[in-house]
Amino acid sequence: MADNIGNPMIRMANSAKKGEMVEVRSLIMNPMTTGLTKDKEGKPIPAHFIQTVSVTFDGAKLLDIDWSTAVSANPYLAFKMRAEKSGTLKMVWKDNQNGVWSAESKLTVS
């Protein structure tokens, strides 16, 4: 079940004008199981899901997200940020089984 997990990706423009809104799109592989379902042998499938996503820009906090098991498998997340200065956007995903993944993307602001 957990053979295909992690592989976080961020897609966003690498340059923007100051003040412009930049759309950040992200994807990570995770089963996002609820703990409420059973496998074919009737054994409960344990809950395994990403609980937090944190977004920073050059180390400064931008956004913190808490997720429940109601977020779909292999979670997609898009958000918008205002381009203020050049720097590095970093996202960190953590799941309830001690999984931690991160991805970065550079933005040049002119």
Partner 1 sequence: MKKTIQRRQFIGTSLVAGAAVTLAGGALLRSGAALADNVAGWPAKAFDAKALDQAMAASVGKNNVPVSPKVKLTAPTIAENGGAVPVTIEIDSPMTADDYVSTVWLFVDHNPTPLASQFDLTPGLGAAYFQQRIKMAKTDNVRVIAKTSKGEFMASAPREVKVTIGGCGG
- What residue ranges bind partner 1 (CB under 8 A)? 21, 32-37, 44-47, 51-52, 55, 57, 60-73, 75-82, 84, 94-98
Smallest distance from partner 1 to CB 2, Å: 14
Smallest distance from partner 1 to CB 5, Å: 15
- b/e for 62-94, b at 16 or more Cβ within 10 A? beebebeeebeeebebebebebeeebebbbbbb
Smallest distance from partner 1 to CB 83, Å: 8
Tell me whether residue 64 or residue 104 sits nearer to partner 1 (CB atom): 64
For residue 15, what are the contacts with CB-CB under 8 A and spacing of at least 6?
A: 107, 108, 109, 110
